[in-house]
Amino acid sequence: MDYTAAYRALSIEERKALALAADLDAGFRPHLVRDQWSLVKIYFGRRADLCPDEVALLIEDPDQTVRITCARREDLTPEQVARCVEDRDPNLRYFIARNVLLTEAQRERLLGDEDPLVRKAAGKGPKRRRLAARPGQAEVIR
């Protein structure tokens, strides 16, 4: 199968559905993680079954919303967590502030953040993310 041609033929709605599909063919994964549409990458980034290379690509995406999706993950490397804590975008710092992977020093830094919402989130402490799946869809991080 020519995955590139098949993927290019899909509409954005079909790509979003594919990004969450429980029976996702592995040949489409490289296309989903590099899609031109941020919305497709956001849907794909919520999957619980991402491999470390896919997470690494998404956490470095120029679109802040794609990075925010990753900040909720509990499978980030210490370097990825640190990158989120130091990100210039307060929205990303807000979402990483409740991550269970934060070190005490990182949590303290976020407790003193310039943004009041980041400080508030850090003050609430770590929050485990739950996984959920709708019929026909992969498990996703909520």
What average pLDDT does this structure show over 32-42?
97
Distance CA 40, CA 65 (A): 11
**CATH of 3-141 among 2.60.120.380, 1.10.1200.10, 3.10.250.10, 1.25.10.10:** 1.25.10.10
Please state, in angstroms and rounded to a whole number, the distance separating the CA atoms of residues 132 and 13.
21
Answer whether 101's CB lies under 8 Å from 81's CB: yes
The helix/strand/coil state of 132 is strand
pLDDT value of residue 142: 85
Helix (H, G, I), strand (E, B) or coil at 23: coil
CA distance linking residue 24 with residue 17, whole number of Å: 10
Tell me, yes or no, if the pTM score tops 0.95.
no
Is the sign of the CA dihedral 70, 74, 77, 79 positive or negative? positive
Where along the chain do its domains lie? 3-141
Q: 50 to each of 70, 115, 116, 140, how far by Cα in Å?
A: 10, 31, 32, 10
- Which pLDDT tens digit goes with each residue over 72-127? 999 999 999 999 999 999 999 999 999 999 999 999 999 999 999 999 999 999 99
Largest CA distance in the chain: 53
